[in-house]
A and B are shown apart, each in its own frame.
Chain A
Amino acid sequence: MASKKDFVKFDKVDKSYDGKILVVKDLQLDIAEGEFITMLGPSGSGKTTCLMMLAGFETPTNGEIYLDGNAISSIPPHKRGIGMVFQNYALFPHMTVYENLAFPLRVRKIPKDEADKKIDKALSMVSLQGFAARMPGQLSGGQQQRVAVARSLVFDPQLVLMDEPLGALDKNLRESMQYEIKHIHESIGVTVVYVTHDQSEALTMSNRIAVFNDGKVQQLSSPDELYEKPVNSFVAEFIGENNTFAGEVSDISDGKCKVKLANAEILANPISVKGKGEKTTVSLRPERALINPSDKMDNIHNGKIEEVIYHGDHTRVRINLLGNPEFILKIPNSSSNLDIKLGNEIKIGWNSDDARALDPK
């Protein structure tokens, strides 16, 4: 069967807790079957509320959510058959790992031998065979996390929700768990809706990312597109590092525009500006600007090195460029970069395609 494009559908969903402020505004979101979609955003942006509405712990104030074509707003959580991994794992502390995993199977009245097979399979999926008799309190954070993942998958749900599941783990463990969850998703093809505020987590794991801010989806696209082609300055700021110039469009033609800054003019790629005189913020990724550029680049300017920070594999250089004292450059560490010294004047260049003229902040 071909996978459905709108396996989960948020249709004009509004949510308000107090009747005054909308936490989620007019949300329109389709999630395809088998997709790994991440809701990314700062805290208070409405992403967790969306997840809770999907799980059934909150009801939409307005609009409807569809799961596999059926409206689910009036279905209580325990009848939705959605697996969920909670922020602090929410393992039942008085039950062994086995009993934790058996819980969803028992309430579904699955016979014991079949349940045992499913539990074995789920535990081997997260490589925790032999831990069935342990209590959750005897496990490390990473192991508890795996049990939580296994428990959410053991009853073969079509949809699994994960609410910042890796937030409590240390950095190394978090990274290895990211790959593990991604591999599990790829191997069983379940649809995953993942909520996080960690952008690198979102970029590593997802098929698509929905960036939330202020109760709205700002951009919904694949990780690379999100990073390379942000559609507004919030997304550009939120995902990765970003250099900005605030200015005014002075000319626009042939898919290029001239932006007048305080004391200079740069060429940029007009994304959300339409005509002359509009205020804009030009966004440029640090790795897209080069020092000592070839003449082919259509933006070349001089800047003064203010700070040099050594990062092991690369060096970050802060430059005062065109009135922006916070312009950051990333330079791979190789023997050729000898003239990067504090106070030196250097030439910086970039292509106007990479400098995206977005909405003013």
Chain B
Amino acid sequence: MSSENKQILTTDGIPLEVSLKKAEKKNKVKAFLLVAPLLLFIIITYVFPIGDMLMRSVDDKMVTEMLPKTYKSMETWDGEELPPEEVFEAFYFDFQKLIEEEREGKLSTQLNYTKNGFKSIIKKLRRKSKSFEEGNYKEQIMSVHKRWADVEYWRAIKRRAPAYTYQKYLKGMDMFENEKGEIVNVPEDRRVHRILWLRTLEIAFFVTVFCFLMAYPIAHLLATLPMKYSNLLMICVLLPFWTSLLVRTASWMILLQQQGIVNDFFVMIGLVSDDNRIEMMFNKTGSYVAMTQILLPFMVLPLYSVMKTISPSLMRAGKSLGGTPFIAFWKVYFPLTIPGIGAGCLLVFILAIGYYITPALVGGASGTLISNQIAFHMKSTLDWSFASAMGLMLLSGVLVIYWLYNKLVGIDNIKLG
């Protein structure tokens, strides 16, 4: 048709497309202004901190900045034998500057992370370097302590040269880079994190399974009961939701402890003897029980909202066509609830994988999760870069799960309400 090629004009003679864009521009600006506060909020509270975390986890500028001259002179050193005189000289001047700024202690801490034994020799160097003479620094420094004449220690200093490092991530996986630059596992008796990662996945997985098993019948009841009963049940489901997390966790402590109500009851009915009470807290059981209860509504609600939309006539149709109640459920009802199952499981799993307060309070030593370890490094060891690294590992784990879910089920199939 000829009109397809011809530009359509409005009555004022302006091309229609231009006119349309003009008319829509105002709406677009309005729409943007409406979301702008939220966008700003997300950038400030989400994008920026995560970016900062990422920087922190790989940041290794401290030593680089403390020894600028040394690293400059080390560029030509091959690391095979002891470095030449220029390196020692540069190191001496960098070190003097640090002493003036009283930062040599930090240097010793940092270098000690890389190789044990730096702390004492740096302290000694500080004392002795006051009486150093000009020239031949190599000899003078090496005479302070025999480790200064050991090439291993100079290699250790060189390893800290790059401004960025992935060491913290290796540490999070219980690995490290040895002197030869190979990535190896830490000795078996010092592997903490891998156990924690696995335990986190295990607890999150089983909490999700338990939540699903408990929530499915509840959600089905909610969706099919007459209004007046379903409202009551809904309140029962939501009531814990409105109670403080700490209060709920504390009540589990009262219930589950060895002198607690559940154990008292077991003793009363003779299930266990009084001196043989079951340990249900400060271990995995505690984490399972409390987390399942706390995360249950996150499974019930998406399931309920999906089940609510499934017409009861579908089940009837299944039965009238000859399917037993089980077949009608399994072939007709269940497949239709998959979007809700997906949403609920994803939600519960992701929440459980990063759970902190409850495992900290009722988990004990064997029930703590990776997030407790992160908090430990934030608050106690003050190794924030390590905490950031583990936080990012957790985040990427969640993203991987999300990606997998999207591949398997499709994220557009999800239904939260």
A residues within 8 Å of B by Cβ? Answer: 55-57, 76-84, 86-88, 90-94, 103-104, 107-108, 151-152, 155, 161
B321 touches which of A76, A87, A103 (Cβ 8 Å): A103
Q: Which of B307-335 contact A (CB under 8 A)?
A: 311, 313-314, 316-325, 327-328, 331-332, 335
* C-alpha gap A151/B321 in the complex (Å): 8
Cβ of B317 and Cβ of A92 under 8 Å apart?
yes
B residues within 8 Å of A by Cβ? Answer: 311, 313-314, 316-325, 327-328, 331-332, 335-336
A-B contact pairs, 9 of them (CB 8 A): A76-B319, A78-B328, A84-B321, A86-B317, A87-B313, A91-B317, A92-B331, A94-B335, A107-B321
* C-alpha gap A133/B367 in the complex (Å): 51
Residues of B contacting A77 with CB < 8 Å?
A: 316, 319-320
B313 touches which of A80, A88, A104, A161 (Cβ 8 Å): A88
Given pairs A78-B321, A107-B323, 16 additional interface contacts (CB within 8 A)? A57-B319, A77-B320, A78-B320, A78-B325, A83-B320, A90-B311, A90-B316, A90-B317, A91-B317, A92-B317, A92-B318, A92-B331, A94-B335, A103-B321, A103-B331, A104-B321
* C-alpha gap A94/B413 in the complex (Å): 12
Residues of A contacting B317 with CB < 8 Å?
A: 84, 86, 90-92
CB distance from B196 to the nearest CB of A (A): 40
Residues of A contacting B323 with CB < 8 Å?
A: 78, 103-104, 107
A55 touches which of B318, B320, B328, B332 (Cβ 8 Å): B320
Residues of A contacting B331 with CB < 8 Å?
A: 92, 103
Cβ of B319 and Cβ of A88 under 8 Å apart?
no
Known: A78-B328, A103-B331, A107-B327. A90 touches B314 (CB 8 A): yes
CB distance from B197 to the nearest CB of A (A): 36
Query: What's the dominant secondary structure at chain B's contact region?
Result: helix
Cβ of A78 and Cβ of B314 under 8 Å apart?
no
CB distance from A77 to the nearest CB of B (A): 4
* C-alpha gap A103/B335 in the complex (Å): 14
* C-alpha gap A223/B61 in the complex (Å): 94
CB distance from B403 to the nearest CB of A (A): 24
Residues of A contacting B316 with CB < 8 Å?
A: 55, 57, 77, 84, 86, 90
Cβ of A81 and Cβ of B311 under 8 Å apart?
no
Known: A90-B317, A92-B332. A78 touches B311 (CB 8 A): no
* C-alpha gap A81/B314 in the complex (Å): 17
* C-alpha gap A81/B320 in the complex (Å): 7
CB distance from A58 to the nearest CB of B (A): 11
Closest residue of chain B to A82, judged by CB? B320
Residues of B contacting A92 with CB < 8 Å?
A: 314, 317-318, 331-332
CB distance from A25 to the nearest CB of B (A): 25
Known: A78-B328, A92-B332, A94-B335. A107 touches B322 (CB 8 A): yes
